[in-house]
Amino acid sequence: MTAERKNGGTTPMVRFGLVVADWCEKWFPDALVFAILAVFIVFVVGLFLGNSPVKLAGLFGTGFWSIIPFTMQMALIIVGGYVVASAPPVYRLVEWLAGFPKTPRGAITYVALLSMLSSMIHWGFCLIFSGFLVTEICRRIKGIDYRAIGAAAFLGGGTIWTLGLSSSAALLMATKGSVPPDLYKITGFIPLTHTIFTWQGAATAVIILVVSLVIAYYTAPTDGKGHTAEDYGIDIKPLTVPLEPRKMPGEWFEYSPIVAVLISAIGFTYLVSLFSTKGVLAALDLNTINFFFIMLAILLHWRIRSFLKAVVGGVTATAGVLIQFPFYGGILVLIAKSGISDELARLFVSVSSPDSFPVLVGAYSAVLGLFVPSAGGKWLIEAPYVMAAANTLQIHLGWVVQIYNAAEALPNLINPFWMLPLLGLLKMRAREMVGYSAVQCMFHVPVVLFLCWLFSKTFTYVPPIFP
């Protein structure tokens, strides 16, 4: 059965959500289009600043491969999240959690809550975990609008994930070896106690979470007014990854739990040593989190063969990252080497004051995120001139990172890039999901910008730290 427009909802909020969702289904483009448009825009701006086309093309080509290590880190975040979420013990937890909601509206709000909470720990895990949860809930409760519950599952990736341990920007700035030298000269080392582990950051996350839940609840279609999975011809099935019997003697290592236990024991021993030597906060970075999730996944799958089968599914979900991140690398070098970065830094200083800077940075980060939907990759583009301006205006550098984090999540609600792993699990298209997340974005923008401005007044400037 095709998804045809159904009669309006029972309240203005429900009707509004349905109208936006229907519009997006017709008009929304693919994620890669946004990245290519960003290249065109930066290229044209570079021409206006006096650069030759040949020079700009050379910068783009050189930068295309400039963030490959970071690309691999982002891909491994998705893989790590997928293999943990698909491990049998975790999936049994998903099945248990799916039994709590009893109504379509309650289910949508429930998924939104768990999505946002899990995103604070690991955004890759959040997307896969939430997708599995939607699958199990929709098998149990009929009449749920598939677009609304899909958007609820993605809320973790579009609201507060950057304010927790998933923050690529905060973890990058706390990883001295990963900060690009040119950026390090401006910012120095910014510990997590100056960014995600501040009471202002926690308060921002709680407020956004509450706002998101209210919107999810009151825009959820009821009484058969939405589009179900059946309307889209989607056959919802539980996750099944059967482990075929061992056939060859050489496969013993792949099927023996001893191998999985020993390698994970070695990995966790390293982590305990690392945390005891450096301290937990100092040791947390992208590499540490990826390492932890891979070791945890091996242990949870219990057998190397089961782990490897899950990795195949996780690698498939990284396709968008692998093909689009090189474009962001090209944009990064174009901005940094064509004079655009310097001009933007001067512009921020000239039009900003300590009072207006948080709002301007937040708004700019959100707009740029439409074209570069990568918290870490975009931070490398934006940070040099934003942090230089923050030093000039004496704005707390750690809170600037948090302003970036809170605002950077906003465009994720309408840019389909980070929806890709979840879309694959739910068998949806971005244009089918993005309508309800766009409604969230409309309410979030003023709330987030206000919080960025309000809490900036509670900080005192601290000069860059060079340990």
CA dist list (Å): 400 to 70, 183, 204, 343: 22, 14, 14, 19
User: For the segment 253-311, what is each residue's pLDDT rounded down to a tens digit?
Assistant: 777 888 888 999 999 999 999 888 877 666 766 788 888 889 999 999 888 888 888 88
Q: What are phi and psi of 188, to 5 degrees?
A: 65, -155
Q: What is the pTM assigned to this prediction?
A: 0.79
| pLDDT of amino acid 4 | 38
Spans of the chain, pLDDT less than 50: 1-9
How far is Cα 430 from Cα 217, in angstroms, rounded to an integer?
21
pLDDT at 207: 96
Q: What is each CA distance from 401 to 31, 167, 201, 376, in whole angstroms?
A: 25, 10, 10, 11
197's tokens: 């582990």
Q: Mind listing the pLDDT tens digit for each residue in 29-87?
A: 666 777 788 889 889 988 988 898 999 999 899 888 877 777 787 788 778 878 888 88
Runs of H (alpha helix) within 28-122:
31-48, 53-63, 68-85, 88-97, 104-119
**pLDDT per position as a tens digit, 238-252:** 666 666 666 666 665
- In the chain, % helix, strand, coil (3-state, to 5) comes to 75, 0, 25
Query: In this structure, how many other beta carbons lie within 10 angstroms of the beta carbon of residue 61?
Result: 11
Q: What is residue 239's predicted lDDT score, i.e. its pLDDT?
A: 64
pLDDT of residue 5: 42
